[in-house]
Chain A
């Protein structure tokens, strides 16, 4: 099926306590994967459920290939929805659960051999073919998640909604399935909408990423853009491994017109490009963002006290206190850093961003 994809126009869900999800505006092209990421409670699952028809929006619309979902009965929307809660049939075994959507009365009848072949192919990729005769009650959480994923992907859908498809798997399997799902879905001519609380998973799997915070889309952009130019401090706070460090302070003009950031325990001259943008705004309250990999041991930009140290084989993460603000540094050094030790650090200006303290937007 080829069409102009999925469009959300002002999609909104209101709650009695004056809480609200939306209005959401977003599009996904056929063959494209868009990931929505944000903290738990931000509105990811609600968005997913409004698209699949499990929740009724209070305003706005969902269209797919130009057809308004509000005018289509749910079974005719062609939505394959993988639930965060798995929602497996406990009385059916793994193979029967996966084959179930292909046997729905509303769809053309398929030969039994083809149903079995399609289900088997997916179970192989998900590495659970050997469990096919087990009931969901006999599976671990990670195994159930893979059954739910297979049951979603086995369908010929007009759109795929994957609500936390790989969150409970170990790293190796997550890594394999992430790549495999991406290659498979981008080869189909339909949109895929992937929901995950893990921003790095969103960045690695999607063509574009929507960051949802407090029910609103804070940024909708390509993965590099989200990572290197987060639109707001709230986006910066959840993106990265570990996430960007944020320090409240003031933008000040110095002698000779140079711009500097002054905050607790840190006084930082900005590089030319950032200083030019900053000086156009003039002195003001700002939030300084520093990527963990831009803070290195040895230097004269600030002094921090080690809080804890985590060696990861190829790099270490040092958590440290900068005059009361907790910061994280990602360093290639693998030697031990003891709690409470003092470190002088350097800050690479390439890894620095500024946000306006009042508007909360990037400068």
Chain B
């Protein structure tokens, strides 16, 4: 089974102004043919509003929406050949799985034989054949959402828009459906857009993710780039769990070169940071992922550095433990914490003293005031929104 030829989507200067508040503040974005684009951000960031404008169910204040280069401003939702998958499934509870999927075809009066053939192909694709005669209200949330995806696919849309499709599912069903959607999207080459507040879902499913905040784009990049080279402190803390540690520091010139004068330690800057070496005397924010730390007895070599502190809190995460560590040497009355993701279960308890090592090449450095990643100028393809 193949869908209709997929198309690309482009947004240019898209704005949504509700009068008393501006939900989307000039967004430029491209979703190439056959890819899945994620719109990721905290509640109220404008991601759902953007999706609704693409679907044509929310009016555009200004700017352009282009489907394969064609302006769709004048097209009503029904003429855009897109399908939507909703958070709450929006199925017909009294109908069977088969009839729910067949619904769009019955509405458009397709011949019986064609309906049977097209719905049959979808049932096979989504592994719903065994339950095709069951009423949807009896199914689990995950199965209901698969039916809703089937109903979207059966029309052979050129674009599928997913609006928080996994939000209401139990954890195991989330993991299951996540991989199903990803496989389907790739094998079918569907152009699709996913709106979610859950970074795990976006990372798992999307080719490219647009991180939104307060109606604007913070960064548009592949999941791996967002993780390795976040454009700013917002993205740094929104991608990854637990979030990246952020610590105040200062770049200082010494006899041997430039060092990072950290909250409780000093680090020479390795060759990886050419921009940083030219910027002594600057206030910065250091970013260090919790998984960049490892426990040590103090002896490290190469580019590794260490910090010591006391365990304040330990969280079990199964294969790993997350330690919240209060750093030694912090100013009186101002505890500085880092979280460290270490192999679990660790025998550590609260108030135990630990030595944490990290590779100094794993540090991100952000300008203090703007929060901007200072390495951006030296890293190609980070993909900041224009």
Question: Do the beta carbons of A311 and B224 come within 8 Å of each other?
Answer: yes
| Interchain nearest-CB distance for B180 vs A (Å) | 8
CA distance A178 to B44 in the complex (A): 22
The reply on B155 being an interface residue by CB < 8 A is no
Question: Do the beta carbons of B204 and A143 come within 8 Å of each other?
Answer: no
The reply on A240 being an interface residue by CB < 8 A is yes
Interface residues of A in 261-318 (CB under 8 A from B): 291, 293, 307-314, 317
Question: Do the beta carbons of A200 and B318 come within 8 Å of each other?
Answer: yes
Contacting chain B: which of A11-19, A82-90, A91-99, A168-176? A168-176
CA distance A242 to B179 in the complex (A): 11
CA distance A39 to B200 in the complex (A): 20
Q: Which residues of B contact A203 (CB under 8 A)?
A: 316-318
Which of B42, B187, B226, B239 has the most CB atoms of chain A within a 10 A radius of its CB? B42
| Interchain nearest-CB distance for B181 vs A (Å) | 9
Q: Which residue of B lies closest to A205 (CB)?
A: B315
The reply on B182 being an interface residue by CB < 8 A is yes
CA distance A309 to B315 in the complex (A): 28
The reply on B227 being an interface residue by CB < 8 A is yes
Question: Do the beta carbons of A171 and B183 come within 8 Å of each other?
Answer: no
Q: Which one, B197, B199, B318, contacts A227 given CB within 8 A?
A: B318
CA distance A242 to B167 in the complex (A): 17
Q: Which residues of B contact A293 (CB under 8 A)?
A: 319
Q: Which residues of A contact B289 (CB under 8 A)?
A: 314
Q: Which one, A237, A291, A308, contacts B172 given CB within 8 A?
A: A237
Query: Given A40-B141, A172-B238, A200-B171, are A227 and B316 also a contact pair (CB < 8 Å)?
Result: yes
CA distance A293 to B317 in the complex (A): 13
Q: Which residue of A lies closest to B196 (CB)?
A: A170
Question: Do the beta carbons of B197 and A308 come within 8 Å of each other?
Answer: no
Q: Which residues of A contact B291 (CB under 8 A)?
A: 314
Query: Given A198-B171, A243-B172, are A170 and B43 also a contact pair (CB < 8 Å)?
Result: yes
Contacting chain A: which of B8-16, B78-86, B240-248, B278-286? B240-248
The reply on A204 being an interface residue by CB < 8 A is yes
| Interchain nearest-CB distance for A335 vs B (Å) | 11
Contact with A along B181-205 (1 / 0, CB 8 A): 0110011000000000111100111
Q: Which residues of A contact B344 (CB under 8 A)?
A: 224
| Interchain nearest-CB distance for B128 vs A (Å) | 16
Besides A310-B179, A311-B203, A313-B239, 4 more A-B contacts (Cβ < 8 Å) are A176-B243, A179-B315, A200-B317, A313-B223
| 20 residue pairs A–B, Cβ–Cβ below 8 Å | A142-B42, A168-B167, A170-B238, A172-B237, A172-B238, A172-B243, A175-B241, A175-B242, A197-B170, A227-B316, A243-B172, A307-B179, A307-B183, A308-B180, A308-B186, A311-B224, A313-B203, A314-B291, A317-B175, A319-B183
B-binding residues in A (CB < 8 A) = 39-40, 140-143, 168, 170-173, 175-176, 178-179, 182-183, 197-200, 203-205, 223-224, 227-228, 237-243, 291, 293, 307-314, 317, 319, 328, 334, 339
